[in-house]
Chain A
Amino acid sequence: MPASAPALAIRDLRFSYPAASWALSVPHFEMAAGEHVLLVGGSGRGKSTLLQVVAGLRELGSGSVEVAGTRMDALRGAARDQARGRSIGMIFQTFNLLHGFSALENVLAALMFSSMPAASHEQRARTLLSTLGIAAADADVDQLSVGQQQRVAVARALAARPALVLADEPTASLDPENTETAMDLIQSACRAEGAALLCTSHDPAMRARFARVESIDAMIHGGAR
């Protein structure tokens, strides 16, 4: 990544689902390296869609998406998958862990698609899990508590040292107390790894945790920044 490259730069992005009555339109959006941004908006407004477009999981109609200096929209097929694996970590509301695999293997799964040398994978995974408070790294994820599973999901998202972490409603299914704990974990881990964080939420209480809060509605109607 160039030293001055932003973690995320979106220009003139336009996306719409076939037969949908609305379109996602982002004229300009940028996140500095290591910056934490909360993206708010009501359900169904397109927050998750924007994250998926940024991750290259959906084809944008026009415009550009640049992650850590790499034009994701210009890449196709395996090259885009490889860029996503190396530059972007994703955290989901339901964690989306690989069931039947251990906590360690879930983190190793992210590393197998990274640019990090294979010899360093285990140490990197164990260190991350240990830092995030997972002692039983070899336990099957299905045997872990919900809180522990979330820690594994965070570790997996950060494993490949991504420039950008996309967290899609990571606390939507948690109570307020656990929401605080989870967000503490996610934000502190991202800071420790130097990763930028773009987090979506429809919870107004989350605003206090972020220095920068953007509304998906504002982005659509006039652009942020």
Chain B
Amino acid sequence: MSARTLTDGQIVMRSLRARPLSTWITISMVATSVALLLVLLGMRSAARGAFDRGSGNIHLLVSADPSPLVAVLNGIFYANSPSKPISWAKYQSIRGAFPYQWAIPTQQGDSYRGFPTMATSADFFGKFEPVAGEPWKLASGRFFERPFEIVLGAAAAKGSGLKLGQQVFLTHGSGASREGGEPEEHAGHEHGEFPFKVVGILEPTGSAHDRALFVDLESSWILHAHDRRERAGIEGVTTSADLEDDDRKVTGILLRLPTRAGSDASAAMQQQFDTLRRDTAIVVAQPAQQIQKLFEIVSNVDGIFIAMAVVVLISSALSTMLALYNSMAARTRQIAVLRVLGASQGRVFGLVLTESLVITMSGALAGIALALLGGIAASAWLKASIGLVIDPSLDPRSTVIVLGGTVALGGLAGLLPAWRAYQVPVADNLRPAA
């Protein structure tokens, strides 16, 4: 065991331990501020990450919505049911006009207990990936293979409580079905004649698709053809044989352009985007671009939150300064004694500055731990409750910046108390107390 000595670090720690309440409160304030700032920064990137999920390997999204942003919000995030359809002929025309890797038709509009339904083709599960590089995975069952089979997103399955083999009646529109117990005026009408059988439940993808239910297009067309026939007074069960061209509608087309091997980008992207935009009957969106636009819209609010967190952090630095500065009044004798023993003014200055840095560094590290633990807990809860996948890890760049900024603030906060310690008149503070 090495011989004991007294070091500057031990003197600093003793000084902090001599006033535990003040020290812990100040460290807690710094920790809370740092955690708040990191959580806000983390939420910003996590939210961005969550929005980036869902459009997956789509290059272009076509719909008849009023704008490309609305097309993305409706078609990928299920914000609302698209109000205008695209005819099947139009879909075929678009698909045939260019050698797309795939062109997947989708139709939205129905729902089950508030969970939106997406009617689509088998390619939706076979070719489209909700998150690029992460294909669909089944938690149980299989994908739909024939009409009136339904596959549930992870959050929809959890929220509805539906199990494999159960029957589901979809509701026209976004209102809840009768089983949902919604007031009649808020509910769309139920397609009671056409039960769907739950054949598959998907693994969570961390995207809005987790809240959806998936059926094949023909089933959806039959439901709406049946409504048309009822309105026309035609009785009997509607089948695919009863479908007319006007029944075959879609509300969106997911497009992927040819790419070079190993690349997600397509050289034809801009040209094809411009070509499709010339068609005034449709809108065409590049999902990534629209998501960027969405974030630009909310970035001001985002900035206000970050600014508030920075203000809280500065407040905690000011508290550190006040706590240390006020402690100086009670520590002038200790400082004078250290000076008598041989400590220079600079060394005393350094000791007090180090105290400030220890407080803020401890607070910053505690804040990082707090943010990390909070992130893990929140991430687990979000995934379990709504199937939202949020990466709980802290952004290393933000963490280093916040840590460095906090320590720098701690250094600034320590300057005034350290200067006061530097100026302590030694001889005057060695006299017996009055």
Contact = CB atoms under 8 A, between A and B. Distances in A.
A119 B426 CA distance: 29
B6 A111 contact: yes
Interface string A90-110: 101110111111001100111
Interface string A116-157: 001111110000000000000000000000000000000010
B18 interface: yes
A175 B427 CA distance: 26
B340 A122 contact: no
Contacts of B430: 52, 57, 92, 96
A84 B5 contact: no
B14 A96 contact: no
Contacts of B3: 118-123
Contact of A108 (B6, B343, B431): B6
B13 to A, nearest CB: 10
A99 B14 CA distance: 10
Nearest to A173: B432
Contacts of B336: 96
A213 B13 CA distance: 44
B133 interface: no
Interface stretch (A61-69, A74-82, A183-191, A203-211): A74-82
A6 interface: no
A96 B4 contact: no
B350 to A, nearest CB: 11
Given A52-B427, A85-B342, A96-B430, A122 B333 contact: no
Nearest to A121: B5
**Size class of the B contact interface (CB-based, 8 Å):** 20 to 34
A108 B341 CA distance: 10
B289 to A, nearest CB: 63
B5 A94 contact: no
Nearest to B346: A78
Given A98-B337, A100-B17, A108 B4 contact: yes
A113 interface: yes
B297 interface: no
A25 interface: no
Contacts of A122: 3-5
Contacts of B342: 81-82, 84-86, 110, 112-114, 160
A99 B339 CA distance: 15
Contact of A96 (B5, B6, B337): B337
B244 to A, nearest CB: 91
Interface string A166-189: 000000110000000000000000
A108 B5 CA distance: 6
A163 interface: no
A220 B297 CA distance: 83
A101 B339 contact: no
A221 interface: no
B340 A57 contact: yes
A109 B427 contact: no
B433 A94 contact: yes
B333 A96 contact: yes
A96 B338 CA distance: 10
B4 A104 contact: yes
B344 A55 contact: no
Contacts of B10: 105
Contacts of A212: none
Given A121-B3, A122-B4, A84 B340 contact: yes
B7 interface: yes
Nearest to A108: B6
Contacts of A58: 427
Nearest to A96: B337
Nearest to A113: B342
B166 interface: no
B6 A112 contact: yes
28 contacts: A57-B339, A57-B340, A57-B430, A77-B345, A82-B344, A85-B341, A90-B340, A92-B430, A92-B432, A96-B336, A96-B430, A98-B334, A98-B338, A99-B18, A100-B14, A100-B18, A108-B6, A109-B6, A109-B11, A109-B341, A110-B341, A110-B342, A112-B342, A113-B342, A118-B5, A122-B3, A122-B4, A122-B5
Smallest CB-CB A-B distances: 4 pairs: A85-B342, A113-B342, A78-B344, A108-B6
Interface of A: 48, 52, 55, 57-58, 77-78, 81-82, 84-86, 90, 92-94, 96-101, 104-105, 108-114, 118-123, 156, 160, 172-173
Interface of B: 2-7, 10-11, 14-15, 17-18, 333-334, 336-347, 426-427, 430-433
Given A77-B345, A109-B337, 15 more contacts: A57-B430, A81-B342, A82-B342, A82-B344, A90-B340, A94-B432, A99-B18, A100-B14, A105-B10, A109-B341, A112-B5, A113-B341, A113-B342, A121-B6, A123-B3
